[in-house]
Structure 1
Amino acid sequence: MEPSYRLRLYLLTILVLVGFGALLSRLHEFQILRRNDFLQLVPGNRSVTIREPGIRGEITDRNGITLARNLRNYEASFNLDEVRQAYLSQRSEDPMLQRLVKQNGLPRKQSEKDIVTIVNEGPVKVLESHGLTKPLRSDLRTHFVTHGGLIPFSYRSDLTYDNLPNSQNTIWSYPEFLSTFVPSATTRMAHSPATFSAI
């Protein structure tokens, strides 16, 4: 009885050691030898543009009464990071703004990038010649501090089709004008942009 008991114990120990050895060899292969292959598969920041179908017309009930009507409007939005990069390609550094902030109950000077000056010297100057400007408020600065260049800043969402044809061909000829005009369909029930950009 004694020798067969030891034989089983030795076989079990050998099986456990072989199993752990196989596991360690696979871990070594995946984590050390093929590490670069798997790092390339990790998704990074990507920009995907999805084209949605156009507007489908009026929505009516079975009696022909209009429930929702499509109204076209246009939005001008700036990708602030691209506007800033275009500004830096023509100038050596960002304009800085000195502000007083309270830290520990005392007023202190703090410098930050003056995004309003950058936008005013770039795309707003181009839009001004077409009469499409509106005054920039503090929400541009707040948007830039909060989101950086990740989320486009909506400059104007009250544009109509009549505003666009005169200026659109001229606007695209300026390289520093990095903005998009997005046509969208607005109904009384929902807002469905014709071009959707996902990051």
Structure 2
Amino acid sequence: MSDASRIPALASRAGGTAVLPGLVDPAALVAGESRADFEALHQRIAACVKPADVIEEILVADVVLLLWEALRLRRVKARLLEATTYRGIERIASPYCAYPPRYVSENWARGHRRTMRLVEKSLASAGLTMEHVAAHTFVVMLDTIERLDRLMAATEQRRSAALQEIDRHRAVLARDLRRAVEEAEFEVVVPAMPPDPDPAGAEAGGGA
């Protein structure tokens, strides 16, 4: 049985929306991402849009993938800043510590409690906080962050285009449905005249 022929039997768990198998591949997930969250997002969007045919199923799948990609990029941005905070520590906090900057930043990154307390104390003595460290980390990673922001913007534009395509497809579908209804109504209201069953006999009778 083909995918297309199985659509009616594959009613979604969300509002009876059909979900065409294989359109959204969980294999596209990267390490650490939840397949359950991915599928739940797909179901929620499908329930909201209620795709009416295979074309809309494909467009919904595009929207799901693009939204998931945007969420992934946001997480990447946040994790990047977390993972590179040690660079801000090395630049901002280390000058106020009695240890080499690299030693302080590396031990802080390893979660060395004594070093972490030392960093907090050193920052406080200089009237600084971890927000100052985060600000410097942001500046250090600005080029990478800007690239991520551009990727997110491009992903959002593609998602918006997919949503607009759904609207356009539905407008065309509605127009075609209206035309079909009008043609059907015309055929019912103005049926074709039946042919004369005996045109020759009618002519002969008229001659008599």
The structure number with the bigger radius of gyration is 2
Q: Same fold (TM over 0.5)?
A: no
Relative contact order, higher structure (CA 8 A, sep 6+): 1
TM-score by length of 2: 0.23
Q: More strand by proportion, 1 or 2?
A: 1
TM-score by length of 1: 0.24
